Amino acid sequence: MTEDEQLRQEAYEQIEKNKNLVDQDPYRLTYHIMPPVGLLNDPNGFIQVNGVFHLYYQWMPFKTDHGAKFWGHYSSEDLVNWRHESIALTPSEWYEKNGCYSGSAIEYKGKIYAFYTGNVKDEQGNRETYQCLAISEDGIHFNKKGPLIYLPEGFTAHFRDPKVWKQEETYFMVIGAQTKDLKGAIALYQSKDLLNWTYRGILVGGGKGELQEFGYMFECPDLFHLDGKDILVFSPQGLETQGMKYQNVYQAGYVIGDFDPKTGEYRHQEFEELDRGFDFYAPQTTIDSKGRRLLFGWMSVPDQHEQDHPTIEYKWIHNMTLPRELKLVSGKVYQVPVDELDQLRCSEVVSHTVKLTKESQELNGIHGKAVELNIQDIEIAEGWMEISISDGGRIIYSADEKVISFERKSYVDGMTEKRQCILSGLKNLRIFIDTSSVEIFINDGLETFTSRIYPSPKNDKITFGASKDASFTALKWDLNVKN
Ligand code: FRU
């Protein structure tokens, strides 16, 4: 048996062996992408080819912790019904033996070219990094071509997560990096044929420009065109908390700018976080056949109490966000759940138009563990209003302070913890609850809060409250994947 065959067999055995246990977890999600067993992290190689979406993911099948990652694979025609496909990449070769790390995919002459980082560590823990290529005709079976890019001068071996795109007949690649003086940076490469790559220099960071003092490592860069601008998404590590900003261990966000493919220069504005919740990191985008810019994020943050998640007892951990469409509106990247998610609605809508005056009340028929809530036409002039998701989490908007908060019961010590942002007024909320996750889209996607929550398994109450008066229309659907 080859090393690749051996690793595949062992991973499939893990799925089989733990299937019953994993399925018994009351916190297993119903309509989100999860690992069949073990740990899932970054979305990788997100692409639509011949009408099929492929979403690969960082996967550790053997434990609920990080390690020598595989590329697992889900596919879908509609972004709602996903098939778990056979393993795309195993860490079987010398140049990736400690992990087929994150990367991206691009279509070339009908084939999928997947670029990823080969992670290697020696016995002393010294790291090596190789940017590798694997080619697939069907999106399922990959033919590894080995390393194409070796570590250039001036960087540490924290050099990874290649994202490739085509612009004006040239291919470009951005790579997340750390310079020798321990500054976060993004390296830029270009190529005519996807095989021979030329280093163009540092795109942002590395002690230069606006992002010169901005943490010690940038992970998972993604540069793309959106509504007339070039957006650079990346996940910086090492930022200090500043008031309501940068509350998580690591961040994920973007800058808006203009990329000049001739000079390789990128001028941009200030960094903005993409999400305000507890659990959002390493997002990746693709463009679909309708021209939409779609995003998946990893619903967790590295090193943020990962081993305390209660799901590890059931031998699995973490999940993806829902697929979101990005829009650029008045200098802000908005995130909107993709329209296809309406297909998840499996009940008649329950609707109430209410004027709330009490601190806590239920609305007839509005409860559940896997639901979409649409709170529209919100009017609140003073005081606060809140929505509680059983005993797992709570959304509070203070009209006096113009602050929206999400609070949850910590899965580490049971204490209340919160994330917040400024909001000049609250107009609407779209809330997707899925057992142990919640995604809140505020004011048509201007802000989002993404978080894991661990409510008591039998409690499916949703309650509403206001300190003075607040009025709105609340719509609710039960959600489920039909197939
Ligand atoms: C981000 C990340 C990437 C790396 C991968 C390893 O979460 O650390 O930088 O490629 O995860 O799983």
Q: Which residue has the higher pLDDT, 483 or 368?
A: 368
Do residue 317 and residue 214 come from a single domain? yes
CB atoms under 10 Å from CB of 408, counted, come to 25
C-beta of 48 in contact with ligand 1 (< 6 A): no
Q: Is 315 in contact with 64 (CB distance < 8 Å)?
A: yes
* Among 339, 360, 376, residue at a domain's last position: 339
How, if at all, do strands 217-226 and 229-237 pair?
antiparallel
Q: Specify if 250 maps to a domain.
A: yes
Q: What is the reported pLDDT for 346?
A: 96
Question: For residues 16 and 34, what is the distance between their CA atoms, to the nearest angstrom?
Answer: 16
- Going from the Cα of 117 to the center of ligand 1, the distance in angstroms, rounded, reads 9
Burial grade of 4 (CB within 10 A; 0-12, 13-18, 19 or more)? middle
Q: Return d(Cα 396, Cα 385) in angstroms, integer.
A: 6
Residue 42 covered by a domain:
yes
pTM, entire model: 0.98
The tens digit of pLDDT for each residue in 222-281 reads: 999 999 999 999 999 999 999 999 999 999 999 999 999 999 999 999 999 999 999 999
Give the C-alpha separation, 13 to 36, whole Å.
11
Mean of the pLDDT values across residues 77-98? Answer: 98
- Which of these three, 318, 339, 360, is where a domain ends? 339
397 in the same domain as 330: no
Q: Looking at the domain assignment, is residue 465 inside a domain?
A: yes
Whether 26 is in the pocket of ligand 1, judged by its Cβ within 6 Å, is no
Answer yes or no: are the C-beta atoms of 1 and 27 closer than 8 Å.
Answer: no
460: left (phi over 0), alpha (psi -120 to 50) or beta: alpha
My answer on whether 330 and 453 are in the same domain is no
Given 4, 23, 42, 434, which residue is catalytic? 42
| Residue 319 CB burial class (10 angstroms; 0-12, 13-18, ≥19) | buried
Q: What is the CATH number of the domain that holds 58?
A: 2.115.10.20
| Residues 302 and 407 placed together within one structural domain of the fold | no
Residue 42: active-site member: yes
Contact call for residues 297 and 43 (beta carbons, < 8 A)? yes
Q: Are residues 388 and 262 in the same domain?
A: no
388 and 245 in one domain?
no
The answer, yes or no, to whether any atom of ligand 1 lies below 6 A from the CB of 131, is no
3-state secondary structure of 312: helix
Q: How far apart are CA 428 and CA 444, in angstroms?
A: 7
- Report, as an integer, the average pLDDT of 17-21: 98
Query: Is residue 111 domain-shared with residue 169, that is, in the same domain?
Result: yes
Which ligand 1 atom minimizes the distance to the CA of 235? 1
CA-proximal residue: ligand 1, atom 6 (nearest)? 101
What does pLDDT average to over the chain? 97
Q: What is the 3-state secondary structure (H, E, C) of 83-127?
A: EECCCCECCCCHHHCCCEEEEEEEEECCEEEEEEEEEEECCCCCE
- In terms of domains, do 114 and 225 share one? yes
Q: Which of 321, 339, 357 is the last residue of a domain?
A: 339
Tell me if 483 is assigned to some domain.
Answer: no
Whichever domain contains 405, its CATH number is 2.60.120.560
Mean pLDDT of 38-55: 98
DSSP β-bridge partners for residue 76: 53
Instruction: Tell me the residue ranges of DSSP E strands in 137-280.
Output: 142-150, 155-167, 170-179, 184-191, 198-205, 217-226, 229-237, 253-260, 265-268, 272-273
Radius of gyration of the chain, Cα coordinates, nearest whole angstrom: 22
What is the distance in A from the centroid of ligand 1 to the CA of 131? 13
Task: Supply the range of the domain harboring residue 110.
Answer: 3-339
pLDDT at 290: 98
Structural domains counted in the chain: 2
**54 Cβ below 6 A of ligand 1:** no
Interval between CA 128 and ligand 1 midpoint (Å):
14
Average pLDDT over residues 78-93: 98
229 and 257 part of one domain? yes
**Is there a single domain that holds both residue 41 and residue 66?**
yes
- ipTM comes to 0.99
- Mutation to probe ligand 1, out of 65, 101, 156, 296 (largest number of atoms < 8 A from CB): 101
Is the CB of 129 inside a 6 Å radius of any atom of ligand 1?
Answer: no
Confidence band for 483, pLDDT divided at 50, 70 and 90: low
**What DSSP state is assigned to residue 80?**
S
For residue 119, which atom of ligand 1 is closest to its CA? 10
Task: Give the C-alpha separation, 35 to 22, whole Å.
Answer: 10
Mean pLDDT calculated for residue range 135-152 = 98
User: Distance (Å, rounded) from C-alpha 459 to C-alpha 362?
Assistant: 13
Whether residue 275 is found in the same domain as residue 373: no
384 and 273: one domain? no
- 262 belongs to a structural domain: yes
